[in-house]
Structure 1
């Protein structure tokens, strides 16, 4: 049986092509949704871009017929713009205020009542990214669902870049002796390029080893990073050691790292970038960028020139640089960076249109990027450059993103089988005991 899906505005603003995600079912877009989309068209961010895309897409549908009646979509479904059903008769005793959300609820409720009177009435489902709107729909007896088609991965299946392998202790000894171990006996398991394996004794002894899978997924090899100190810091746990391996491998152009606050993502990436730029001269410049998305209420306009405006947003980067350069006096770090000239701290706002060759690029807080923004950044990377995407998918400040549809998750899942990419999830907090406890408990 076909169904009727009533779409909320945030579904279209999250995925402009969402209308093609419902197979051969009927899609209803309330007129108030068009009004909300129209109000967002002038925004200069991703939401504005999506609003303009939706506007052009719906306008193109007019060639297929009158939108308020019903048109056939290329995937077999139908779409119509609902101009009526704005009566609040069914809602007025529960939700008195005539907000846009309540208007959308009214459309869905009245269509559902109409379908109940028909012999072969269709189920009516409200689709929204707004959890409270789904709760209100449930209070009215309406079926409501989240829009999940934009998710890159299902819950709890996010790639970690790490896997344990239990095998005979003699095999572990052979791994240390030869520096590698064939994986043909584990044909029932899938291994990705540059995936880390922790080798453990199947009988439970303390014997273990750490290796990385080769590009064909057939052999696990010992780690090759031999730097005891990286710009004055040392990896403190196994996952940080794995991250250092990825950061220094010349054949890996894209590194993704995820982990809770305090696991050392930013500090380790900056140290590796500084060492390869300043000491080893492998890159001409170190570029560090992060999206400008506030954690709380936006503080509004900031005084000064561009660098002065960006300083509060980029302060977490400068905090790590102060630690690495061991600066103690005010202004000392600025003087060092000005003298070096090879370190650039930038906002992602200005990255479109650039070409970035011969640089070590760090994208911090990448979980606040949309899929389109992540693609825009990666397509800026030039020859002989290396880029590091990192962040915590559980700490997202963007209103239309979650753990499973953000740009960081999108990149790491799409590139996990590519030989030029590597990924690791950092597990243990190293900032302080309090920071680790806060990350776990809060």
Structure 2
């Protein structure tokens, strides 16, 4: 780093998983300096040629750093190259990026003597902390165990990467509905109601619900009112009166809601004006079953879409799918058993369940696709059901959403309490990111299903285990 750098600016040492999680992460540290250890470049080099999902992210990160450093001399790469001009706004980087040759560290002064990559990166951060004093050196990694090891080894500052974290706690995540205490109308002082066809729309004051967002459901505890926020101005909110009993009376493909949460979710799923429906909630709350029932209703009964594409994230799918026999659909079948289970539930009263399932899968043109092969496609006039989306990052979800063309509806479902990814948590999951980013988009709706309806056993396990 340049010798005259302000001592108040920090030095951030990045772990490999940060650049895999967000390839351009080194541009996110504003006025602070960023150091990438040589070990991280070696790991990126190994990953970029692998068949893993993150190979593309590794290549993107390497290219981005090469674009910045390609004219730098070896001395400048060690000292640091300014990142000024690579962004705009208050978050634009003004610090320096440098490569640190951690292989040349004196073994005698290293805390960890084993040659594991994580240990070498921690040793590099500890060495920098010593020679760069009084400047703060911060190791940034998404690996929880590595953070513990680094602190235990004497590194003063260790952090998770939080630039992509929109909320600090899951309790602040939008649920998709707002519940009023008592009777809704008791909280409303003035209202202007009008009728448009069969719909009744109420215009109420914005101060009744100052933090309302588009397509948020409104219900009250006395079950006297259920509505939907249709539009907002600075002073008013327009609410579509859905009617509590009418909402509970909706059904799709023979499925009726068991609670008000499912009723609101079903309304959003069947609304042709909503292109993205996000369903969150615990196992057994009905996310997959409702999504599939609504999809079959709209494809087979109403002929609104041409096909149903079902896909999901599986942590080991990139390595494992090639070893399974058969077509892509047959390879995906073990991971999409939740869908076939739900189909079986929907047709359990039929005389020939297997025959009905085969007929419906052909009639509705249900296709099982790997999330790995969604990139580069353009999906038109279809319903895409993305299951287990809590294991995807924001960039992976963006890849899938941008595949959706004209007339396509995307249904994302996931349980934020069941994240299998090594480096994601409930607050950094792409599903959480999606809920927060799209809550004010008029073409999307979110619903948190909080009641377990699968069985009393599942309900007890969700509460007590």
CA-CA distance at 1:53 after TM superposition: 1.1
SS at 2:407 equivalent:
coil
Asked whether the equivalents of residues 242 and 424 of structure 1 are also in contact (C-alpha less than 8 Å), the reply is yes
Show structure 2 runs of 5+ residues with no match.
1-7, 85-92, 195-199
Distance of 2:321 and 2:400 partners within structure 1:
26
CA contact (8 A) 1:115 1:122 kept: yes
CA distance change for structure 1 residues 367 and 220 in 2, over 3 Å: closer, same or farther? same
Contact 2:184 2:220 in 1 (8 A): no
88 and 422 in structure 1: CA distance in 2 versus 1, 3 angstrom threshold: same
Aligned to 1:401: 424
The one of 12, 22, 42 equivalent to 1:5 is 12
Change (3 A) 1:207 1:129: closer
Counterpart pick for 1:165 among 180, 187, 197: 180
What's 2:66 paired with?
Answer: 59
Q: Which residue of 2 aligns with 1:79?
A: 97
- For the residue of structure 1 that corresponds to 2:164, the secondary structure is coil
Q: How does 1:3-42 map to 2 (within 5 A)?
A: 3-42=10-49
Matched, 1:70 2:80: yes
Aligned to 2:5: none
For residues 105-142 of structure 1, the C-alpha deviation after alignment (integer angstroms, 9 at most, x for no partner) is: 111111212234xxxx2111111111111111111221
> Deviation at 1:37?
1.0
Separation in structure 1 between the aligned mates of residue 340 and residue 140 of structure 2, nearest angstrom: 42
User: Displacement of 1:319 after TM fit?
Assistant: 0.7
- Cα distance in 1, alignment partners of residues 432 and 81 from structure 2: 35
CA distance in 1, matches of 2:184, 2:47: 62
1:149 corresponds to 2:163? yes
Q: CA–CA distance in 2 between the matches of 1:312 and 1:333?
A: 20
CA contact 2:118–2:146 (8 Å) conserved in 1: yes
Mapped pair 1:381 → 2:391: no
Mapped partners of 1:372, 1:124: distance in 2: 28
Deviation digits for residues 198-235 of structure 1 (CA, Å, limit 9, x no counterpart)? 235xxxxx464221111336122222766543212210
Contact 1:43 1:49 in 2 (8 A): no
Question: Which residue pairs with 1:49 in the alignment?
Answer: 56
Return the alpha-carbon distance in structure 1 between the equivalents of residues 303 and 363 of structure 2. 13
Q: What's the CA shift for 1:195?
A: 0.2
CA distance in 1, matches of 2:210, 2:359: 50
SS in 2 for 1:163: strand
SS in 1 for 2:441: coil
Cross-structure match for 1:182: 203
1:280-295 residue pairs with structure 2 within 5 A? 280-294=302-316
Task: Tell me the residue number matched to 1:123.
Answer: 136
Shift of 1:10: 1.1
- Partner deviation per Cα, 1:37-60 (whole Å, 9 max, x = no partner): 111001344411111011112212
Distance 1:169 1:141, change over 3 A: closer
| Counterpart position of 1:223 | 242
Structure 1 residue runs without a partner (length 5+): 201-205
